[in-house]
Amino acid sequence: MILPITIYSDDILRQKAKPLKGVDAETEELIGYMFESMHNASGIGLAAPQVGRSLRLLVLDVSCLDNYSEVKPMVVINPHVVAVQGFNSMEEGCLSIPGVQGDVERPAAISLKYRDEHFAERSGEFSGMLARVLQHEIDHLDGKLFVDRMERRDRRKIQKELDLLSAGIVTAKYPVVGRSE
Ligand code: NI
């Protein structure tokens, strides 16, 4: 089932999402729907608040990108970044902010502890695009969006687009839900 994506002005995108206590049948179903919805929208990462669920759960699949075709899709639950290394700047976009891109500086590599789709404890070191997507999606679990991290000068250039999204004027090639208030 394809779930509609919550858009910029939706309150749920500003909430701190709740940790999961386990993975039950309902969670498994949600994970499946999240992959389906992400692929349908040509996204490479999707966090549960983006489909209206305030849970610390995200999915990612970067296998469509050059040099990442061997990387398996990931389910990441209750993630904790335990260490970071370096910094770089990359252009980001977000399915919840359609039509907007901008440069964001973030740590270049991260050490992560998390639970997988079986709720088993995992840890890993991630760099390159995986570090980038993971940090973007983990931000979603803390109510943060990439535009919050853009330099003020760059942010001013996209303010008009953000205002349109806030006003509920959304153009996207996938189903969306607008304001919640
Ligand atoms: Ni996003």
Residue 141 has pLDDT above 70, yes or no: yes
Q: How far is the CA of 96 from the centre of ligand 1 (A)?
A: 6
| pLDDT for the residue 138 | 98
Determine the Cα–Cα distance for residues 32 and 159; give it in Å rounded to an integer: 34
Q: Which of 137, 151, 161, 181 is catalytic?
A: 137
Q: How far is the CA of 89 from the centre of ligand 1 (A)?
A: 16
Tokens linked to 98: 């359609």
Q: How far is the CA of 119 from the centre of ligand 1 (A)?
A: 23
Determine the Cα–Cα distance for residues 28 and 75; give it in Å rounded to an integer: 10
Q: pLDDT by residue (tens digit) across 80-92?
A: 999 999 999 999 9
Residue 180 has pLDDT above 80, yes or no: no
Q: Of all helices (H) and strands (E), which one includes residue 80? A: strand 74-85
Fold of 5-177: Peptide Deformylase (3.90.45)
| pLDDT for the residue 24 | 98
Q: pLDDT by residue (tens digit) across 16-62?
A: 999 999 999 999 999 999 999 999 999 999 999 999 999 999 999 99
Total-model pTM: 0.96
140 by DSSP, 3-state: which?
helix
Q: pLDDT by residue (tens digit) across 158-173?
A: 999 999 999 989 999 9
Alpha helices in 96-180 (DSSP H): 128-141, 152-166
| Residue the block writes with tokens 């973007």 | 136
Quickly state the pLDDT bin for 179 (edges 50, 70, 90). low
Number of neighbouring beta carbons within 10 Å of residue 174: 16
Quickly state the pLDDT bin for 178 (edges 50, 70, 90). low
Using CB atoms within 10 Å of the CB of residue 81, give its burial: 0 to 12 exposed, 13 to 18 middle, 19+ buried: middle
Give percent above pLDDT 90 in the chain.
95
| pLDDT for the residue 181 | 42
Q: How far is the CA of 148 from the centre of ligand 1 (A)?
A: 12
Number of neighbouring beta carbons within 10 Å of residue 169: 11
Residues 6+ apart with CB under 8 A from 1: 33, 36
Determine the Cα–Cα distance for residues 138 and 45; give it in Å rounded to an integer: 10
Question: Is-catalytic flag, 125?
Answer: no
Q: How far is the CA of 6 from the centre of ligand 1 (A)?
A: 10
Q: How far is the CA of 37 from the centre of ligand 1 (A)?
A: 13
